[in-house]
Amino acid sequence: METGILDGKSLSKQIKEEIAREVADWVGQGNRRPHLAAVLVGQDGASRTYVDHKVKSCAQVGFESTLIERPADIGQADLLEIVAQLNDDPAIDGFIVQLPLPAHIDDQAVIEAVDPAKDVDGFHPSNMGNLALGLPGFVPATPAGIMTMLERSGVETEGKHAVVIGRSSIVGTPMSLLLSRSGSPGNCTVTLCHSRTQDLAAHCSRADILVAAVGRPGMVKADMVKEGAVVIDVGITRVEDPTAKRGFRLKGDVDYADVAPKCRWITPVPGGVGPMTIVSLLNNTLEAARRSADQA
Ligand code: GUN
């Protein structure tokens, strides 16, 4: 079996160039630049890295961006006030509040405070509901990025059996909806596995398309994967590595060296799903800018 690597890094670069051209056209038609704001609470190293990547990517495609940083001890009311201001600010097309938030803050209350029209993360119940019903709305960035990757790489999904491991609101649940919905890519028969699933390996080994989104490094082994499967690894756990420059390296949920020889396609970590997530966020922001201009 010839294994193909789904190279999210180079695909995301190509798509960012496409977005940059769309932005240039958009601005050339007299519109203002799309503007994304990101709210970062606390000093979590991984969250900081993700937000920095998002802000940097905005500049690459010609968006404005604003980073709002607050200490970990910010009160929930103060954070909700920032969300309210961003909702009301006509110069902001879309914004995200980076998760996870400190334990004293109710994530769901913050998510529900975001105006669904600016919810470029697609986490608001109204956007999630639209996704479940197949109606237009913002789709969460990681599963949307995976769908783009499948589409651009010509991976056939119609009628295939997809197994998603992990039922988070951010990845597993929306991923299962996208893969099963009518369309291309889509039209899969989907099994959604989670922490209470019995005989996970048996389910996984029947997957034509296997998406691992649990955050347990190396948990998917070769004996859980069907010959010729397409394996998408969403995990990006930092594991200590004294030989690495930063003292850690990123490990996916899939034991890559073990699994890759059996796959038709596989995503590496890093450089697979991660960069595609950012591309989806940029696409959602451009869409938000277009919609707000339509309503102006
Ligand atoms: N934390 C992990 N992934 C995400 C994401 O896509 N958006 C936000 N806001 N926080 C996250």
Residue pLDDT, tens place only, 23-68? 999 999 999 999 999 999 999 999 999 999 999 999 999 999 999 9
Break the chain into its structural domains and give their ranges: 30-115, 141-274
Whether residue 125 is preceded by a cis peptide bond, meaning omega within 30 degrees of 0, is: no
Residue 170 CA to ligand 1 center (angstroms) comes to: 7
**pLDDT at site 115:** 98
Is residue 73 within a helix (H) or strand (E), and if so which, with residue range? none
How much distance in Å is there from the Cα of 155 to the middle of ligand 1? Answer: 26
| pLDDT score recorded for residue 295 | 84
**Does the annotation count 54 as an active-site position?**
yes
Structure tokens at 56: 């940097």
Active-site residue 9, yes or no? no
Best of 39, 47, 52, 98 for a ligand 1 pocket test (most atoms within 8 Å of beta carbon): 98
Task: Say which residue the tokens 């028969």 belong to.
Answer: 189
State the distance from the centre of ligand 1 to the C-alpha of 98, rounded, in angstroms: 5
Q: Distance between CA atoms of 50 and 239, rounded to whole angstroms? A: 17
Low-confidence ranges of the chain (pLDDT < 50): none
Looking at domain 141-274, its CATH class is: alpha beta
Among residues 93, 118, 119, 121, the one annotated as catalytic is 121
Residues 6+ apart with CB under 8 A from 178: 131, 139, 143, 144, 146, 147, 185, 186
User: Per-residue b/e over 2-12, b at no fewer than 16 CB within 10 Å?
Assistant: eeeebbbeebb
What's the pLDDT at 88? 98
Q: What is the pLDDT of residue 38?
A: 98
Query: Has domain 30-115 been given CATH number 1.10.600.10?
Result: no
Helix runs in 101-253, H state only: 107-113, 125-133, 141-152, 172-180, 200-204
* Residue 43 among the catalytic residues: no
Against a cut of 0.95, is the pTM above it? yes
**SS3 (DSSP) at 96:** strand
Residues with a CB atom less than 6 Å from ligand 1:
96-99, 121, 141-142, 170
Catalytic one of 98, 118, 119, 208:
98
Cβ neighbour number for residue 47 with a 10 Å cutoff: 17
The best mutation among 121, 175, 276, 284 to test binding of ligand 1, ranked by most ligand atoms within 8 Å of the C-beta, falls on: 121
Residue closest to 178 by CA, chosen among 224, 140, 217: 140
> Is the fold of 30-115 the same as that of 141-274?
yes
pLDDT score recorded for residue 107: 97
